[in-house]
Amino acid sequence: MALIKSVNGIEPKFGKNCYLAENATIVGDVEMGDDCSVWFQAVVRGDVHYIRMGNKVNVQDGAVIHCTYKRAPTNIGNNVSIGHRAIVHGCTLKDNVLVGMGAIVMDHAVVEENVLIAAGAIVLENSHLESGFIYAGVPARKVKALSTDTFKDTIERIANNYIMYADWFRE
């Protein structure tokens, strides 16, 4: 069973049909929507500010979601995939976002809907990523428009697949 802890009397809250891997950690002021999943060794730490997630959010293996004390909460929309070992910290990710493996999104960054952040990219503090584009590099820069095919084959497919994968692991 996942490590689920209250912090300062505030317990994590989960929507329907969420999957939490046995060694995932979810603590404090965290609220998840329906059909979310938090995978092996991932940490969702709402100890110093709140974390809010919509529906169909998957937090893949080794990813970390955190905030900055009293300054930067984390807000995550619907249909969002947070790749393996990514860090999402004190920022806003709107609907239909993919944060690639090992990418970092820093405090007060706002990622509009329908955005793909490439693996290893670093989205600097206070950045604003425009809807409909792929961002890559250090620091992350707009590299090209996100086509409808790429959207359906990447962002939408991955979010839907993680609901299926979670079903494989339920006891």
Show me where the domains of the chain are located.
48-169
For the chain, what is the mean pLDDT? 97
Give CATH for domain 48-169: 2.160.10.10
Residue 100 has pLDDT above 90, yes or no: yes
pLDDT, average across residues 2-15: 98
Sequence-separated (6 or more) residues with CB below 8 Å from residue 47? 7, 27, 28, 29
Residue 75 has pLDDT above 80, yes or no: yes
Residue type, 54: G
Specify the pTM.
0.97
Residue 72: phi and psi, rounded to 5, are -145, 100
Residue 151 has pLDDT above 90, yes or no: no
What span, in angstroms and rounded, lies between the C-alpha atoms of 52 and 33? Answer: 8
Q: Give the pLDDT confidence score for residue 10 in this predicted structure.
A: 98
Q: Give the pLDDT confidence score for residue 153 in this predicted structure.
A: 84
Q: Give the pLDDT confidence score for residue 107 in this predicted structure.
A: 98
Q: Give the pLDDT confidence score for residue 171 in this predicted structure.
A: 64
Structural tokens at position 99: 């944060």
